[in-house]
Amino acid sequence: MRTATLISALFLTAVGSTDLTAKELTAIPEIEMVDVSGGTFVMGLDESVAEHSYETPEHQVTLSDFRIGKFEVTQKLWVAVMGDNPSSVKGDDLPVESVSWNDVQLFIEKLNKMTGRKYRLPTEAEWEYAAKGGNKSAGYIYIGGNNPDSETWNFNNSESKSHKVGILIPNELGIYDMGGNVQEWVNDWYGHYSEKAQKNPKGAKKSDIGKIIRGGCFSNLPEYNKPGYRFVSNPNFKCPYIGFRLAE
């Protein structure tokens, strides 16, 4: 079931570093979340279709219920929380980008203090399950369908730039832009997959390689919008192709 959570909480922010009496009220924009019913699915890719060995082997994963952002976090929301906009191309309804994994942790910490919620990044398993449509999956080749040029912003149709969130059709769960637009940080450290069945996996405890990034982006070829593809980078890395979405 899809739900929209309207965060109407107001918070006080000090103006200036020493003047603690001057205050201003700032409203947090609407944050829409999608309820994802838990279930069991096959995570990863078969060796015959995998782009890299670290996307294999396929393995069974069982997840509990969770909630995930209907849209990628926008620049409007980022600015309301952080007070600045690091994005290379500006626009309130464009996904925020040029943010590192570590930057995102600071954003979430502030957002949770403002709202009293427990927002976080999705785990890699949650992200892939949601991208595949959860228990409503139609078994598409790409995220949201079998024609990546109608469901995702990619090299063929993006004009080499990000686009307003929610323009293209959503996937089976009503989630937008999980393929294309910008790639998305997830919570997990990189780790090799195991063939063993798992329940609510959270990734490696630590990795010298970095944090996982999921989904294709506006500059990628369409094939990178398959739900099993995974990428990795240093948690301090930032570029115009990477943003994120929230989970609870």
Mean pLDDT of 137-159: 91
Residue 197 in any domain: the answer is yes
Q: Which two tokens stand for residue 142?
A: 């790409």
Convert 42-69 to b/e letters by CB count within 10 Å (16 or more is b).
ebbbeeeebeeebbbebbebebeebbbb
Q: Does residue 3 have a pLDDT over 50?
A: no
Report the candidate in 188, 185, 184 with the shortest Cα–Cα distance to residue 200: 188
**How does residue 82 score in pLDDT terms, banded at 50, 70 and 90?**
very high
Question: Do 153 and 12 contact (CB within 8 A), yes or no?
Answer: no
Mean pLDDT of 46-51: 79
Report the candidate in 230, 235, 238 with the shortest Cα–Cα distance to residue 45: 230
Residue 178 in any domain: the answer is yes
For the chain, the domain total comes to 1
pLDDT of res. 54:
83
**Could you tell me the CATH number of the domain that includes residue 215?**
3.90.1580.10
Residue 2 in any domain: the answer is no
More confident position, 148 or 9 = 148
- 186-223 pLDDT tens trace: 999 999 999 999 999 999 999 999 999 999 999 998 88
Q: Does residue 7 have a pLDDT over 50?
A: no
Residue 231 in any domain: the answer is yes
Residue 195 in any domain: the answer is yes
**Around Cβ 242, how many Cβ atoms within 10 Å?**
24
Residue 81 in any domain: the answer is yes
How is residue 70 annotated by DSSP?
S
Mean pLDDT of the chain: 88
pTM: 0.88
pLDDT of res. 27:
81
pLDDT of res. 18:
30
Residue 6 in any domain: the answer is no
pLDDT of res. 22:
28
Residue 17 in any domain: the answer is no
Q: Does residue 94 have a pLDDT over 80?
A: yes
Mean pLDDT of 104-128: 97
Taking the C-alpha atoms of residue 33 and residue 55, their distance in angstroms, rounded to an integer, is: 28
Mean pLDDT of 152-157: 92
pLDDT of res. 4:
37
Domain that holds residue 81: 33-243
Rg (CA), the chain: 18
